[in-house]
Amino acid sequence: MNELPQQLVNGLLLGSMYGLVAIGYTMVYGIVQLINFAHGEIFMTGAFGALTVYVYILPNGTSMWIALPLMLIGAMLVSTTIAVGAERFAYRPLRNAPRLAPLITAIGLSLALQQAVWAWYPDAKSARTFPQIDGGPFHIGSVTIQTGDIFLLIAAPVSMAILGYFVMKTRTGRGMQATAQDPDTAKLMGVNTDRIIVIAFALGAVFAAVGAVAYGLKYGQIDFKMGFLLGLKAFTAAVLGGIGNIYGAMIGGIVLGVAETLATAYIADIPGMDKFGSNAWADVWAFVLLILVLLFRPQGLLGERVADRA
């Protein structure tokens, strides 16, 4: 069973990506209590933003070491613009409307973004290849790590550290915490809640963009549908970790990723379970885990640290 370390690393990588996207769900939910179902598509547009920089802006054959930071910036620019635009034009007018209204808007926005990329991005009707980092895989003991995964392995913890510092230590971060606890009181205390909400959307988009670049590097291709399933998984990760809690999003992502991977690899080995152990069943096991966690800890793994509002 020397396969286990490799499978754990596979799960960790997949989970880190879920986590990066889950942060967007959890931050927006924590502050405005909106489930931004278009977040998966914001992630997708980020990937296309990065691709645009590489294919249409940089000269051919640019080294990935130069291109990667620029692609990251491109991805962030595109996803942030779309997220902030969505907040301004789709969600803000509905801020005081019944809960269902923004939810449906989010679903509509999600479809519109998907179809817009499908219709107008060149050759996006089928998958487009994403540039790859050259060089062979790294071996640590029996574990193989792909060059494309190195980015994810570094970017995920670094992003988390920066986010933690931002939310805990900076003025704006504390303003976010205050708004999350009680928007009205925060407003009375002089916090510009509108600005805080915009920042929450923008930050979520930035992390989604990092995740999107990692996705492209890991799988080598992106398509207009990539945000749907990944968004759903990331949302699950956010709920699993405790929606509203940024560390919970990352932990939830990793737990989900590892659970899926191990389910694929090992469930079939349990006697009598060979029918339920394949990769196609991994999602089922992931949701079984979610249900179990929610049964015993309805607030998610890390609970909702930000507030105990009714």
Partner 1 sequence: MRQRSLIAITAALAAGALTLTACGSRDNGKSSDSGSGGTTVTIGIDAPLTGDLSALGLGIKNSVDLAAKTANKQNYVKGVTFKIVAKDDQAQPSAGQQNATSLVADNSVLGVVGPLNSSVAQSMQKVFDDAKLVEVSPANTNPALTQGDDWQNTKTRPYKSYFRTATTDAIQGPFAAQYVYNDAKKTKVFVIDDKKTYGAGLAATFTTEFKKLGGKVVGTQHINPDSKDFSAVATQVKNSGADVVYYGGEYPQAGPLSKQIKATGAKIPVVGGDGIFDPTFIKLAGSNATGDLATSVGAPVEDLDSAKTFVKNYKAAGYKDEYAAYGGYSYDSAWAIIEAVKKVVDDNGGKLPSDARAKVTAAMQNVSFDGVTGKVSFDEYGDATNKQLTVYSVENGAWKAVKSGTYTG
What residues make contact with partner 1 under the rule CB under 8 A?
A: 2-3, 6-7, 10-11, 13-14, 90, 93-94, 96-97, 101, 104-105, 107-109, 111-112, 115-116, 118-119, 125-127, 129, 132, 137, 144, 146, 218-221, 223, 225-226, 229, 260-262, 264-265, 278-283
φ, ψ dihedrals at 189, nearest 5° = -80, 5
Cβ distance 240 to 255 under 8 Å?
yes
Residue 34: both structure tokens together: 């909106």
- Nearest by Cα to 75 from 187, 192, 175, 216: 216
What is the residue type of 257?
G
At 145, is the secondary structure helix, strand, or coil? strand
Shortest Å distance, C-beta 118 to partner 1: 7
Shortest Å distance, C-beta 171 to partner 1: 31
Q: How many CB atoms lie within 10 A of CB 265?
A: 20
What is the residue type of 24?
G
Cβ distance 191 to 175 under 8 Å?
yes
Judged by CB, which is closer to partner 1: 39, or 245?
39
Judged by CB, which is closer to partner 1: 117, or 246?
117
- Nearest by Cα to 226 from 211, 238, 237, 240: 211
Judged by CB, which is closer to partner 1: 163, or 265?
265
Shortest Å distance, C-beta 134 to partner 1: 10
Judged by CB, which is closer to partner 1: 280, or 295?
280
Judged by CB, which is closer to partner 1: 80, or 264?
264
Shortest Å distance, C-beta 7 to partner 1: 6
